Chains A and B, each alone.
Chain A
Amino acid sequence: MIKLWVLIAGIALSSSSAADYPSTYDPPPHAAFVLTHAIVDVGEGQGEFEGWVSVADGKIVGIGMMDDARPDDVLEINAGGRWLTPGVIDVHSHLGDYPSPGYRAHSDGNEATSPVTAEVWAEHSVWPQDPQFPLALKGGVTTLQVLPGSANLFGGRSVVLKNIWSRTVQGMKFPGAPYGLKMACGENPKRVYGSRSQSPSTRMGNFAGYRKAWIDAQEYQRKWVRFEKALGEYELWRTSNDGETDYKEPPSPPKRNLQMETLVGVLKGEILVHNHCYRADEMAQIIDLSREFGYQVTAFHHAVEAYKIGDLLAANNVCAAMWADWWQFKLESFDGIKENVAMVQAAGACAIVHSDSARGIQRLNQEAAKAMAAGQRLGLSVDATVALTWITRNAARALGIADQTGTLAVGKMADMVLWSHPPMSVYARAETVFIDGVRRLDRAAELAPVTDFELGQREEVF
């Protein structure tokens, strides 16, 4: 009887199978240290101060101004007046899924075979030897979300990675980070499927496709609720009868459906929705869609028109992840403006600067700086410390990991970047990058990861 119970419990759990693909990331031990004489911006948008940060066992254990007492029994690293910030976080990347070299044989970012592919997981495409990972590290990126592409209405699950060299993607997975679901508005789904004379071929076709899938997900969720109820009743019967009276079969679980599991994960609030959506009017419609089915959109990505609806985003608690100045490369990006990010910030909404690019991810700080300066020229009150939150704290929030990283705070992961210049300067280079307290980049010490692909055929650059 006990055996049967275990079996049933196992079946019930398998409706969410994330536990089957666990992170094996285990940061190596490091000596405790205190980084002193740094210009520290903790990433809360509250300015900077000259101070110290102490780190032990991968975590920040103390932060103070230079006048405050600091641990004196650990290794001291003198930052020499350089700038210390939280590690940069990119909420929109395809590293590993669209690696370099970018041949067809390597192109694993978009399962563009059906408008609904919520069943695919980006992590199953990630090539950990992609040389773009170390390049991003040289831009101070410590954490990134790898998303499926945008050909589909539902592209699949994302994965959040620590930017470390590893033999396996499991070794990069951010422990405990929630999954994301990639959804896409607008031109891409309708173009990809419309060109095959298949639905969707219009924006209204896109919406019909979203709604149909969510209706299916609700039905699937109900099936499992019914099963779990029946299972509970069966257990109640079993324990109260002690197996003495007439025998009853336990209810059999519904067949698992990977596509539906992901969508139900959203409906349960366990999986975060990252919705590729350029146009303001479409974002507003997606917010209605989320209300119809009772889920929360975590962030709109590529939201080039977010500035038109900053109030709506703020009221609905949706982040906008944006480029600083990309526009014009497609019709739905034609109204892109440099002031976008700062205007979203000014409207009180959650603003994020993202890359969607293996080039852009190397300088998210510069992109944030551009957006900040454009806002300042428009007369908005955004400064460097606020701009920093666009690539640190706010990004962590959108990934559901803000309790662990994204700012420098006691108890959080020691994910930190030491910059050569103020981080909002084009001249700023990430000189030393710590991930969970471990130095992963140190230019002065000529320490940087080299992928297998690069080994023996590409010169190391520090």
Chain B
Amino acid sequence: MKRVLLVMGLLGVTSLSAEELLIKNVRLVETSFQSGKVSDLRIVDGIITQIGADLVASAGTAVFDGEARAVTPGFIDSGTTIGLAEVQGLGVSRDGEQVDDDMTAGFQVYLALNEDSSLIPIATNDGITRGLIVPGAGDSNYAGQSALVRFKQGPTFLNEETMAQHLYLREGDRRRAGGSRSSALAAALEALEESARYDKQRRAFNTNRNRSFDLDESDLVALSAVRRGEMPLVVQVDRAADIIKVVTAFRSYPDLRLILASAAEAWKVAPLLSEENIPVLINVMENLPQNFDRLGARLDQATLLADAGVTFAFLSGSPYSETRSLGQAAGVAVAQGLSWQQAIAAITSVPAAIWGLAGLGRIERGAIADLVIWDGDPLEVTSAPLAVLIDGEWVDLETRQSALANRYVELLNLK
């Protein structure tokens, strides 16, 4: 409440849609939340146009005083499901996976997103401004295509319709393709081969002369984009032995952009991943040996990957409600030996680079103004955003949850 009042109070004097905004006295964090220069940021039309000391507001410009608080780029979640289910446990409210089809590469989650979901501002309150909304494995190992969103309710929620293709090859996933890891991987590769045949015969296909393909056209088009490197392929795989096989198998497609996710045992094959420049998306807090694929799961996996020079970013997973939050995950990684700077990078600049999000994940001249001004250390569990900007516009941090809290604080006279 206080946070919102602070922002709204300052904004009261000007207009919400001011094209120019001056943020005074925010700390551009470096190696800790207390290090780095205190600077001013000028934002014009959603872009950071100037960074420096004592910037002067032009007439009519809204001014926000950060009081030397830490500012970070908005966090980027490399995999969650917000917008796909209002209540995760309610099957009827869930749109995150396609079932009753053994090939769903053509499935696109963006068509199912709820831009008014009450969950969206709750993520914003954790400092997250962008994220990939990822399909779950339904009845197909190829689960379909993720979307990129902005964590702001309303028509701007959807940022990019399609971002990546998601393939599930963990222990439990083999049941969908022949019951063996061997058949699952073979089926995944065969589908890519079929997309190559389709590409060669597109003209024949389009003129109805050759339609002898096992897969639907939407799947063929989707897999073709993967094969040609137009869309990255995110493979959920845990066991070290499987990671090696996946990396080796997909080498036959020189343009294919492979990304690993989950990857509990990635640290065991870190030199390979580093050498082949394959990024890894991990959920820091998933350290349980829940199955034999994950025997090597450990809490300090990010530190081991960093030491080996592997590119990695963090994701919060699904359901968001149980795995929040990204900042906490990064904090846990620091407690386990990762540097503070690398932990921040794993939820800002690194995912921006992995996903090709130009202008995001960094605070620099010309960058998109996705900014979070914090009331403390951004990685501390006790911290929260004081203010959040997405595309240079303030986000209302009021949530359904804060409304509930306020109602009962008053009703029970708790203050």
Q: Quick check: is A22 within 8 A (CB to CB) of the other chain?
A: no
| Among A378, A421, A425, contact of B409 (Cβ-Cβ < 8 Å) | A378
Contact yes or no, A424 B409, CB < 8 A:
no
Contact yes or no, B335 A379, CB < 8 A:
no
Q: Quick check: is A363 within 8 A (CB to CB) of the other chain?
A: yes
| Among B3, B295, B401, B414, contact of A346 (Cβ-Cβ < 8 Å) | B414
Contact yes or no, B335 A343, CB < 8 A:
no
Chain A, residues 110-141, CB within 8 Å of chain B (1/0): the string is 00000000000000000000011001000000
Contact yes or no, B382 A461, CB < 8 A:
no
Contact yes or no, A330 B90, CB < 8 A:
yes
Q: Which of B308-352 contact A (CB under 8 A)?
A: 319-322, 324-325, 328, 331-332, 334-335
Min Cβ gap A283→B in Å is: 14
Q: Quick check: is B285 within 8 A (CB to CB) of the other chain?
A: yes
Q: With A426-B331, A461-B300 as known contacts, state yes or no: A103 contacts B291, CB within 8 Å.
A: yes
Contact yes or no, B90 A331, CB < 8 A:
yes
Q: Which of B212-243 contact A (CB under 8 A)?
A: none
Q: Quick check: is B404 within 8 A (CB to CB) of the other chain?
A: yes
Chain B, residues 368-403, CB within 8 Å of chain A (1/0): the string is 000000010001111110000000000000000110
Q: Quick check: is A439 within 8 A (CB to CB) of the other chain?
A: no
Point out the residues of chain A lying under 8 angstroms from B204, CB to CB. Answer: none
A453 CA to B295 CA, complexed, in Å: 10
A370 CA to B119 CA, complexed, in Å: 18
Q: Quick check: is B405 within 8 A (CB to CB) of the other chain?
A: yes
Point out the residues of chain A lying under 8 angstroms from B321, CB to CB. Answer: 326-329, 333, 336
Q: With A102-B291, A359-B288, A377-B3 as known contacts, state yes or no: A343 contacts B414, CB within 8 Å.
A: yes
Q: Quick check: is B74 within 8 A (CB to CB) of the other chain?
A: no
A358 CA to B290 CA, complexed, in Å: 10
Q: Quick check: is B289 within 8 A (CB to CB) of the other chain?
A: yes
Point out the residues of chain B lying under 8 angstroms from A310, CB to CB. Answer: 412, 414
Contact yes or no, A426 B401, CB < 8 A:
no
Residue of B nearest to A429 (CB): B335
Min Cβ gap B414→A in Å is: 4
Q: Quick check: is B99 within 8 A (CB to CB) of the other chain?
A: no
Point out the residues of chain B lying under 8 angstroms from A331, CB to CB. Answer: 87, 89-90
Min Cβ gap B145→A in Å is: 24
Q: With A328-B119, A343-B405 as known contacts, state yes or no: A359 contacts B285, CB within 8 Å.
A: yes
Q: Which of B171-194 contact A (CB under 8 A)?
A: none
Min Cβ gap B251→A in Å is: 28
A329 CA to B375 CA, complexed, in Å: 28
Point out the residues of chain A lying under 8 angstroms from B119, CB to CB. Answer: 328
Point out the residues of chain B lying under 8 angstroms from A359, CB to CB. Answer: 285-288
Q: With A458-B296, A459-B296, A461-B300 as known contacts, state yes or no: A380 contacts B415, CB within 8 Å.
A: yes
Point out the residues of chain B lying under 8 angstroms from A358, CB to CB. Answer: 288
Chain A, residues 352-385, CB within 8 Å of chain B (1/0): the string is 0000011100110011011011000111100000
Residue of B nearest to A340 (CB): B405
A339 CA to B408 CA, complexed, in Å: 10
Max chain A C-beta neighbours (<10 A), residue from B86, B298, B299, B405: B405
Min Cβ gap B202→A in Å is: 44
A358 CA to B286 CA, complexed, in Å: 10
Chain B, residues 75-114, CB within 8 Å of chain A (1/0): the string is 0000000000011111000000000000000000000000
Q: Quick check: is A427 within 8 A (CB to CB) of the other chain?
A: yes
| Interface residues of A, count at CB 8 A | 57
Contact yes or no, A328 B291, CB < 8 A:
no
Contact yes or no, A379 B2, CB < 8 A:
yes
| Among B88, B290, B409, contact of A329 (Cβ-Cβ < 8 Å) | B88
Point out the residues of chain B lying under 8 angstroms from A461, CB to CB. Answer: 298-300
| Among A131, A329, A369, contact of B322 (Cβ-Cβ < 8 Å) | A329
Point out the residues of chain B lying under 8 angstroms from A325, CB to CB. Answer: 324-325
Contact yes or no, A135 B288, CB < 8 A:
yes
Chain A, residues 237-264, CB within 8 Å of chain B (1/0): the string is 0000000000000000000000000000
Q: Which of A291-348 contact B (CB under 8 A)?
A: 307-308, 310-311, 325-331, 333-339, 343, 346-347
Point out the residues of chain B lying under 8 angstroms from A362, CB to CB. Answer: 285, 287, 299
Point out the residues of chain B lying under 8 angstroms from A311, CB to CB. Answer: 412
Q: Which of A409-462 contact B (CB under 8 A)?
A: 420-421, 424-429, 453-454, 457-459, 461
A335 CA to B324 CA, complexed, in Å: 16
Point out the residues of chain B lying under 8 angstroms from A333, CB to CB. Answer: 321
Contact yes or no, A338 B383, CB < 8 A:
no
Q: Quick check: is A290 within 8 A (CB to CB) of the other chain?
A: no
Q: Quick check: is B1 within 8 A (CB to CB) of the other chain?
A: yes
Residue of A nearest to B407 (CB): A308
Q: With A337-B405, A377-B384 as known contacts, state yes or no: A330 contacts B290, CB within 8 Å.
A: no
Min Cβ gap B96→A in Å is: 13
Q: With A328-B319, A343-B412 as known contacts, state yes or no: A100 contacts B289, CB within 8 Å.
A: yes
Max chain B C-beta neighbours (<10 A), residue from A363, A367, A454: A363
Point out the residues of chain A lying under 8 angstroms from B325, CB to CB. Answer: 325
Max chain B C-beta neighbours (<10 A), residue from A326, A357, A372: A326
A363 CA to B335 CA, complexed, in Å: 12
Contact yes or no, B381 A370, CB < 8 A:
yes
Min Cβ gap B117→A in Å is: 10
Min Cβ gap A105→B in Å is: 12
Q: Quick check: is A101 within 8 A (CB to CB) of the other chain?
A: yes
Point out the residues of chain A lying under 8 angstroms from B334, CB to CB. Answer: 426-427
Residue of A nearest to B119 (CB): A328
Residue of A nearest to B301 (CB): A461
Min Cβ gap A294→B in Å is: 28
Min Cβ gap B102→A in Å is: 24
Point out the residues of chain A lying under 8 angstroms from B90, CB to CB. Answer: 330-331
Min Cβ gap B297→A in Å is: 9
Min Cβ gap B281→A in Å is: 18
Point out the residues of chain A lying under 8 angstroms from B286, CB to CB. Answer: 359
Contact yes or no, B87 A101, CB < 8 A:
no
Contact yes or no, B291 A378, CB < 8 A:
no
Point out the residues of chain A lying under 8 angstroms from B383, CB to CB. Answer: 373
Residue of B nearest to A343 (CB): B414
Point out the residues of chain A lying under 8 angstroms from B89, CB to CB. Answer: 329-331
Binding site for A on B (CB under 8 A): 1-3, 86-90, 119, 285-292, 294-296, 298-300, 319-322, 324-325, 328, 331-332, 334-335, 375, 379-384, 401-402, 404-405, 408-409, 411-412, 414-415
Complex A-B, nearest 6 residue pairs according to Cβ-Cβ distance, in ascending order = A426-B331, A330-B89, A373-B382, A328-B321, A339-B405, A346-B414
Binding site for B on A (CB under 8 A): 100-103, 131-132, 135, 307-308, 310-311, 325-331, 333-339, 343, 346-347, 357-359, 362-363, 366-367, 369-370, 372-373, 377-380, 420-421, 424-429, 453-454, 457-459, 461
A338-B401, A343-B405, A426-B335 known; 7 new pairs, CB 8 Å cut-off, are: A310-B414, A328-B321, A346-B415, A372-B382, A373-B383, A426-B328, A427-B334
10 A–B contacts, CB within 8 A, in A order: A101-B290, A307-B405, A308-B408, A328-B119, A328-B321, A370-B328, A426-B332, A427-B335, A458-B289, A461-B300
